[in-house]
Structure 1
Amino acid sequence: MTEASLWQSGAPSVSARGPGSGANLADILERVLDKGVVIAGDIQINLLDIELLTIKLRLLVASVDKAKEMGIDWWEHDPSLSSRAPKPVESRDLAAENRELRDRIAALEAGKETS
């Protein structure tokens, strides 16, 4: 199998030597980010036919736009990666939330008594 036949769309082969290799590498990187690549593998450690450890590895390499097209946007909801993500419970003003909940309970109880 030749290098050129490895690429489905007939892209030119990439050589690490040669003056145009930077442009070819950039083209390949652009194609990978545009289309996306999935790399999957499993590692199992057995001792005397007893499974001790299984590690399942899944890696997706794609651009942010392509990931969003596929419905992957976990980084937008992770507070450590995005300032727009909701804050974790520990960082909220728990005293204010507690007061608000007590007021709501009082209002509900007052509504029951008048019924």
Structure 2
Amino acid sequence: MSAGLGAGSGGADLADILERVLDKGVVIAGDIRVNLLDIELLTIKLRLVVASVDKAKEMGIDWWESDPALSSGARRGELGAENARLRARVAELEQRQEETR
């Protein structure tokens, strides 16, 4: 009978711990780089954030918003900038073509 009570309180303890972690936030970050003769062979970036999104932003952690691999908004911004550059280049080439005629 006490085993049943212990299991129930363990779940409550785990829920309390998870709530505290999400409220306070835990961040683990690290980079691993492998270079050979000043040539970068491998880069591994590790980022682990265990927090609510609001808490992470409050702590100043919002790198996922500007990372094109993680944020559709960042991809749109990046693609929009690339699109503008390409349109300018096409206009420049068309103008040169008109001048040579």
Structure 1, gaps ≥5 residues long:
1-16, 42-56, 104-115
Q: How many residues in Structure 1 have an aligned counterpart in Structure 2?
A: 71
Q: Which has the higher helix share?
A: 2
Quote the residue 2:60 is aligned against.
Answer: 71
Using the size of structure 1 for normalisation, the TM-score is 0.45
**Bigger relative contact order, structure 1 or 2 (CA pairs below 8 A, ≥6 apart):** 2
Pair 1:92 & 2:101 matched: no
- The 1:76–1:40 alpha-carbon spacing in structure 2 relative to 1, beyond 3 Å, is closer
Task: Report the identity percentage.
Answer: 63
RMSD across aligned positions (CA): 3.5
CA contact (8 A) 1:79 1:88 kept: no
Amino acid at match of 2:52: S
Amino acid at match of 1:84: G
CA contact (8 A) 1:35 1:66 kept: yes
- The 1:59–1:77 alpha-carbon spacing in structure 2 relative to 1, beyond 3 Å, is closer
Of residues 15, 21, 33, the one that matches 1:26 is 15
Using the size of structure 2 for normalisation, the TM-score is 0.51
Residue 37 of structure 1, CA deviation: 2.6
Amino acid at match of 2:90: R
Residue 65 of structure 1, CA deviation: 0.8
